[in-house]
Amino acid sequence: MNDDTLDLQKSRYARQMRFPGIGVGGQRRLLASKALVVGCGALGSVIINTLARAGVGHLRIVDRDFLELNNLQRQVLYDEDDVAAGIPKAIAAYERLKKINSTITIEPVVADIDHTNIERLAGGAECIVDGTDNFETRFLLNDAAVKLGIPWVYGGCLAAEGQSLTILPGKTPCLRCLMPEPPPPGSSPTCDSAGILGTIIGVIASFEANEALKLLSGHEEAVSRTWTIFDLWDNTIRQIKLEPAPAADCPCCGRREFPWLSGQRGSHTAVLCGRNAVQLSFPGRDAISFDELEKKLAAVGSVSRNKYLVRAEIGSNTITVFPDGRAVIGGTEDIAEARSLYAKFIGN
């Protein structure tokens, strides 16, 4: 045992190294590892808190949003001072994490992750962890991860239910093997319409962070080979066994087509001059259901509808949605804010 090993054993990681799955060797690998965590909201704040404490040597954390009071119920890294200061989540997270572990590198990035920056942001990462709230970004992450051969961990939560899945490109099914298309815009509830419990966030984010720790400490063999779905209110855990290999006909990992990464799919945005509004459009997406959308928006604002559009007034924003999912978000000229409002109130 050399001095370095003795230092590690006396270190903050002593209890973690005592666990045989990690050990001294695994801890060394963690300290030399690099991970990208996309989203510093509910899932993201638990994930980065756990990974920073565990000693992941380089954490790149990306988020496009600012803090709001209703975040504090589940976004465990933040406090009332952060909300009052109105600072971006990635920066608030950075300020907190560097007090938790000053010995690692934490790189905050305030950005809307999209096809123009994902490959640069994923550069050098050994693992990508999903702390996002929408399928558009997850399909982009899936394209990038498969193209670059980087394992990624998917997680999502709504109400009291949450799910997670780890994707080893070329070895296990990717997101598109299991879900060829994202759900049409407005078709599924969001946290703003269906609510969310902080407890399910803790479960899923810990599950995701645990998968990341296996990957980053060099234990790919320990990674879950199931799609795991928890419902904390109904007391159920479902584990769907994955096929042992990716689907041969998957457009992503089979044919290596990456339309979200090329920008052919995903939202297109434009600031509407002089209107204090941003337009988002989604080429190639299915038509949306106005009935479902109206019901969902009525839970968070005042809604009007005709056969051409659904319009909701939510706080200082007006959201107008057309049958093809195109939306005009009024009350902002900030594209990242508009995309964030779309994900929150309309969703995938």
- 116-175: which residues touch Zn ion (CB under 5 A)? 174
Report in angstroms how near the CB of residue 180 gets to Zn ion at its nearest: 9
Q: Which is nearer to Zn ion, 164 or 210 (CB)?
A: 164
Output the six-digit token pair for 270: 């434009």
Report in angstroms how near the CB of residue 253 gets to Zn ion at its nearest: 3
Check binding of 246 to Zn ion (CB under 5 A): yes
3-state secondary structure of 348: coil
Q: Which is nearer to Zn ion, 258 or 342 (CB)?
A: 258
* 69: phi then psi, degrees, rounded to nearest 5: -55, -40
- Using CB under 5 A, which of 87, 253, 321, 335 touches Zn ion? 253
Check binding of 297 to Zn ion (CB under 5 A): no
From 172, 134, 131, 130, select the one nearest 152 (Cα to Cα): 130
Q: Which is nearer to Zn ion, 62 or 165 (CB)?
A: 165
Check binding of 328 to Zn ion (CB under 5 A): no
Report in angstroms how near the CB of residue 182 gets to Zn ion at its nearest: 14
Interface stretch with Zn ion, choices 110-118, 159-167, 248-256, 317-325 (CB under 5 A) = 248-256
Check binding of 42 to Zn ion (CB under 5 A): no
Report in angstroms how near the CB of residue 184 gets to Zn ion at its nearest: 20
Sign for the pseudo-dihedral over CA of 242, 243, 245, 251: negative
Residue with the CB atom nearest Zn ion in the bound state: 250
Q: Which amino acid is at 85?
A: A
Helices (H), the chain: 3-9, 14-18, 23-31, 42-54, 80-85, 89-100, 118-122, 135-148, 175-178, 191-194, 198-216, 259-262, 290-298, 335-345
Q: Which is nearer to Zn ion, 23 or 254 (CB)?
A: 254
Do 210 and 47 meet the contact criterion of CB atoms below 8 Å apart?
no
Report in angstroms how near the CB of residue 120 gets to Zn ion at its nearest: 23
Q: Which is nearer to Zn ion, 131 or 173 (CB)?
A: 173
Q: Which is nearer to Zn ion, 51 or 174 (CB)?
A: 174
| Rg, Å, the chain Cα set | 20
Report in angstroms how near the CB of residue 246 gets to Zn ion at its nearest: 5
First-residue to last-residue Cα distance in the chain: 53
- Using CB under 5 A, which of 37, 59, 128, 177 touches Zn ion? 177
Check binding of 252 to Zn ion (CB under 5 A): yes
Report in angstroms how near the CB of residue 243 gets to Zn ion at its nearest: 10
Write the burial class of residue 147 (CB in 10 Å: 0-12 exposed, 13-18 middle, 19+ buried): middle
Q: Which is nearer to Zn ion, 180 or 183 (CB)?
A: 180
From 154, 151, 173, select the one nearest 163 (Cα to Cα): 154
3-state secondary structure of 80: helix
Report in angstroms how near the CB of residue 205 gets to Zn ion at its nearest: 25
Number of residues that bind Zn ion (CB under 5 A): 7
Cα 204 to Cα 164: distance, rounded to the nearest angstrom: 7
Residues in the site for Zn ion, rule: CB under 5 A? 174, 176-177, 246, 250, 252-253
